[in-house]
Amino acid sequence: MERPRGVNGLAGIAFTAAAIGTVLGIAFLFFLWLRRQGRTWGWDDISQADAFVGAFACLAVAALFYALGRGLLNLRAWARTSVLIMAWPGLAYFVFWMIAVLILKNPYWIISFVILLILAAVAAGILVYLSRPHVKESFSAVPSTRPASHKSQ
């Protein structure tokens, strides 16, 4: 079965997120190296521990998104399920922050609203797209890589 085009787009987004996470992780490692050298170049508020935790977190997230992109390209059911699970908090995030923006009476509420609305629309679009029957079918049509069980006589 042919891979749906939208899955290619989602995999591209996952690979882009992995690249951004990798760049940020390397930046945190650079800050860690600067701190160990005693130089900060204006980044006095980043401690060695902060830089280490930031590097580890960014590189771990990058690895997660890389694996997710590979899983999407290979039409693995676990990748589809993972994307569905990660899209739901996007909608909850929209609702939570819209309430916070309205309660705090942010003077730039319209900008916040537009950005949050775009994020919620993307999350909803992902949920709708991955729930379509032909997309579900393409993820379930991939043969298992597990070897067949052998019965002894």
The Cα–Cα gap between 106 and 27 comes to 32
pLDDT number for residue 7:
93
Where does the pLDDT of residue 80 fall: very low under 50, low under 70, confident under 90, or very high at 90 and above?
very high
In whole numbers, what is the pLDDT of the chain averaged over residues? 84
Q: Inform me whether the pLDDT recorded for 153 exceeds 80.
A: no
* Residue the block writes with tokens 């993307």: 122
Token pair for 85: 């699970």
Residue from 81, 71, 86, 88 nearest 142 by CA: 71
| Residue of 30, 29, 35 whose CA lies nearest to 48 | 35
Average pLDDT of the segment spanning 42-55: 78
At 107 the pLDDT is 76
Q: Which residues of 41-55 are buried (b: 16+ CB within 10 A; e: fewer)?
A: eeeeeeeeeebeebb
Has residue 130 got a pLDDT over 60?
Answer: yes
